[in-house]
Amino acid sequence: MFRVVILLLFTNLFFTLHLSGNISKYINMKYAFLSKSMVVVLFLLTIAEGIRWYLSDRKLQKEHIGCDCHHDHDHEHNHKHSHEIDKKTVSKGKKVKRFLSYTFVLIPALTGVLLPVATLDSQLVNAKGFQFPNLEDGNDKYGMHQVLNPDMSQFLGQDAFLDLVRKESKSYKVKEDITLTDDDYLKALEVIYNYSGDFVGKTITFKGFSYNGPNLNNNQIFLLRFGIIHCIADSGAFGMMIQFPNDIHIPNDQWYQVTGKVDTVYYPPMKARIPVIKVTSYKTINQPKDPYVYRNSFN
C-alpha cells in the first residue's frame, strides 16, 4: 500500500512540475524528454504495483502484511515457508524502520510539489564561491569565469567557440542600443566580454540582481543572473559590473533594470579588464517570472 503511494506521489511530482512549467527551474529543458517520459513510466509502475498489492492482499490476506517481497508467481511454495520465519524475525523495530525509510523517500515527492521553488540569490553566489580563476596562463585568455562571463567554449571547442562568438558579434556590433533579453542574455554577455573594446560607448540595457562582489569601489556593484547549463546544481551567476556617478548603498538581491554606456575597467580579482556599465538610468523591478537564463542552443 505504502509502495503504491510512493510511486503515485513520484509520478505526481514529475507530472506537476511539467504541468506548471516549474521543471525548467530545476533542469535544463534540453533534457526534458527524460523527465517527461518518467511521468508515463512511473504511472505505469504505479498501476502495476497497485494491481500487485490488490491481488496479493486478496490472495494471502493476513500472511502478507508487513512483508514487501511479493514474488507470488511460481514461488508461493517456498515463500510461504520463509514468510513464517520472516514473521517471527520481523520485529516491531524493523517495521518502524521500514515505515521511516518509506516516509523518508517521500520527502522529495512532497517538498517538490508543496514548497515553492526557491530562487538562487546572492547568498548562493557566496556559497558557490565568487572566485576568479587565474588568468596568468597567457595562452588561455578566454579562460573560464563561471562567474560573470558565460564562457561556453568548453562545450564547443576553442576554435568553434571563437567562430561562433565572431558570428554572433556581428548582429550586436552594428547596434548602438542593445537590450539584453531573457533569451539572448548569455549569448550577448559572451559577445560583450570577448569584444568589450568594440562595445565601448554603446548603450546597454539589462536586468539582474545586485551583488556586492569583492574589491569594488563604493559606486560599483555587480548585476547578475543565474544561468543554467544542465541543472540548478551546476548553475553559475553571470552578469556585468555597473557603476553609478555617486556612491551607493545597495543591499544584495535587489532586482534592477539599468541602462548605461559601456566602458572597460581593470578588475584586480580577475586580473583582466572587464566591461562596466556606466549607469545613466535605472529602476528597481520585481524579480522576473523566470529569474533564470538558459543557454539552450549554440546557434
Site for another protein in 148-207 (CB under 8 A): 153-158, 160-161
What one-character-per-residue DSSP string does 101-166 give?
A: HHHHHHHHHHHHHHSPPPPP-HHHHHHH---------TT-TT---SEES---HHHH-HHHHHHHHH
Q: Which stretch binds another protein (CB under 8 A): 65-73, 163-171, 243-251, 254-262?
A: 65-73
| 126 in contact with another protein (CB under 8 A) | yes
Give 262 or 270: the residue with its C-beta nearer to another protein: 270
Q: How many residues does the chain have?
A: 299
- Smallest separation (angstroms) from another protein to the CB of 249: 22
C-alpha cell at 163: 567562430
In whole angstroms, give the CA distance from residue 184 to residue 190. 10
- Residue 196: what residue type? S
| 128 in contact with another protein (CB under 8 A) | yes
| 71 in contact with another protein (CB under 8 A) | yes
10 Å CB burial of residue 122 (0-12, 13-18, 19+) is buried
Give 140 or 183: the residue with its C-beta nearer to another protein: 140
Which of 16, 43, 60, 135 is in the footprint of another protein by CB under 8 A?
Answer: 135
CB atoms under 10 Å from CB of 234, counted, come to: 11
Q: Which stretch binds another protein (CB under 8 A): 132-140, 178-186, 201-209, 216-224?
A: 132-140
Reference 285, options 182, 214, 192; nearest CA is 182
| 18 in contact with another protein (CB under 8 A) | no
Which of 124, 248, 250, 272 is in the footprint of another protein by CB under 8 A?
Answer: 124
Which positions from 73 through 102 interact with another protein, judged by CB under 8 A?
73-75, 78, 82, 101-102
- Smallest separation (angstroms) from another protein to the CB of 21: 14
Buried b (16+ CB within 10 A) or exposed e, 17-37: bbeeeebbbebbeeeeeebee
Which of 231, 283, 284, 296 is in the footprint of another protein by CB under 8 A?
Answer: 231
| 266 in contact with another protein (CB under 8 A) | no
